[in-house]
Amino acid sequence: MIPIAYALRNLWRRRARTIATILGIGATTLLVVVMTAFSAGLDNASAKTARDDVVILLGTSAEVDLVRSVVTRGSAEAAAAAVPGVLSAGGVRAASVELHLATRSGDRIGLLRGVNPAAYLVHPQVSVIEGRDPRGPFELMVGRLAATRMGLPESDLAVGRTIRLENRDWKVSGRFAAPGTVMEAEMWTRLDDLMLATKREDVSCVAVRLEDPDAIDDVRLFAARRLDLEIAAVPEAELMRELERGLKPITALARWMALLVLAAGAFACANTMFAAVLARTRELATLRALGYSPFAVAISLVQEATLVAFLGGAFGVFAALAIGHISLRFPMGAFTLDLDVQRRALGLGAAVVSGLLGGIVPALRAVRMRLVDALGGKA
């Protein structure tokens, strides 16, 4: 076999081209890491929100669409009080009457949710990380990603600041976290305040947390039999699946883009290696004349390509580390791009694969040349 030092020396001999290839593959690796993290982030945002013990009671004509759902306040309160199998803690039933709204502040769109104290029982993923929950009139508690969702700087939604929404000034009383869920992009306020501000007499849904997830069928039966309430029971997981279905084209596009980027990396590697083979036709033929087998020469070339790709991949991974956590928004919320170890390993693996793929064809071409022609520089 040809020593690996030979491959390293060759790379250094053509350092300008090598560095350009490393930078190119670094960029493609970074893109692969970002694209896969983007698609995973979208998937997680809906999947992590769903709990198997939570059922949403929607208006009958809403199908499985929370935004279109309308339930009269009276029906919602009656359902919250009567629905069977509900978890109870400290005398509070985990049945949350909620109003979900998309609101505007100038040309920025935010997500508002009007809730009662029961909401914190139904959605235990929510925890206050700064300040407190809204208790006074027209107070807001904002999710960690609410500013991202609205395209505002974090400082605009800091605790104590005021934001104008629905023709009223709302004071930020606190911030909350709900890691990985769509709720993190929302702003929560008291239900009565939101209904007053928007002059709404109806609500969006009743979110119910059950003592036992198996009781979901009992809630379905309750909703079907109480025609007077005009509600339908939909498990939260089903609702989130619908949301996920809406995002599928975007996640699929991100995955396809990652694949295309991977192919571009392979082409970049192949291009570099073809140039190396053409420039070193006589040298490679000499190696064969000295007794190295065509296989050994081919392996050496593939080694070169893989080495360049690995260095490029490592560069891309470091660039991903430098980026850190970025928050992105999508129509129903926002999520944090998590460029975790798994994604970075995937990016590095993709870079190495692109090096292997890009090195094989030039290597085959190099060893298929007739030795006499190659030595005479005719190839």
Partner 1 sequence: MRRVLVIATLLFACSGEEPKKAAPPATPPLDLLLKADPGEALSVLVAKEEGPGEEVVVVGRIKTIVKGFASFQLIDQALDYCGSGGDSMEDCPTPWDYCCIAGPVQNEHTLVVDADGEDGKVMKASGLAGLRLLDLVKVKGKLSRDEHDNVTLHATGWFLVERPNLREGLRWPE
Per CB under 8 A, residues contacting partner 1 are: 59-61, 63, 214, 217, 220-221, 224-230, 232
Q: Are 94 and 88 in contact (CB under 8 A)?
A: yes
Q: How far apart are CA 233 and CA 63, in angstroms?
A: 10
Q: Return the number of the residue (11 or 232) whose C-beta is nearest partner 1.
A: 232
State in angstroms the smallest separation of the CB of 221 from partner 1.
Answer: 5
| Token duo for residue 344 | 């970075």
CA dist list (Å): 293 to 82, 137, 303, 368: 82, 83, 15, 12
Q: Return the number of the residue (160 or 225) whose C-beta is nearest partner 1.
A: 225
Q: Return the number of the residue (156 or 202) whose C-beta is nearest partner 1.
A: 202
State in angstroms the smallest separation of the CB of 224 from partner 1.
Answer: 5
Q: Return the number of the residue (122 or 229) whose C-beta is nearest partner 1.
A: 229
Strand blocks (E) in 132-277 = 139-143, 162-165, 168-177, 186-190, 202-203, 205-209, 231-235
State in angstroms the smallest separation of the CB of 226 from partner 1.
Answer: 6
Q: Return the number of the residue (61 or 342) whose C-beta is nearest partner 1.
A: 61
CA dist list (Å): 369 to 6, 218, 303: 21, 75, 20
Q: How far apart are CA 260 and CA 197, in angstroms?
A: 49
Q: Are 205 and 194 in contact (CB under 8 A)?
A: no
Beta strands at 168-177 and 139-143: parallel, antiparallel or unpaired = parallel
Element holding 335 (H helix, E strand)? strand 333-337
Q: How far apart are CA 270 and CA 308, in angstroms?
A: 11
State in angstroms the smallest separation of the CB of 204 from partner 1.
Answer: 14
Q: Return the number of the residue (100 or 226) whose C-beta is nearest partner 1.
A: 226
State in angstroms the smallest separation of the CB of 200 from partner 1.
Answer: 17
State in angstroms the smallest separation of the CB of 225 from partner 1.
Answer: 5
Q: Return the number of the residue (75 or 181) whose C-beta is nearest partner 1.
A: 75
Q: Are 143 and 186 in contact (CB under 8 A)?
A: yes
State in angstroms the smallest separation of the CB of 39 from partner 1.
Answer: 24
- What lies within 8 Å, CB to CB, of 16 at 6+ separation is none
Q: Return the number of the residue (95 or 369) whose C-beta is nearest partner 1.
A: 95
| Token duo for residue 219 | 């809630």
State in angstroms the smallest separation of the CB of 253 from partner 1.
Answer: 22
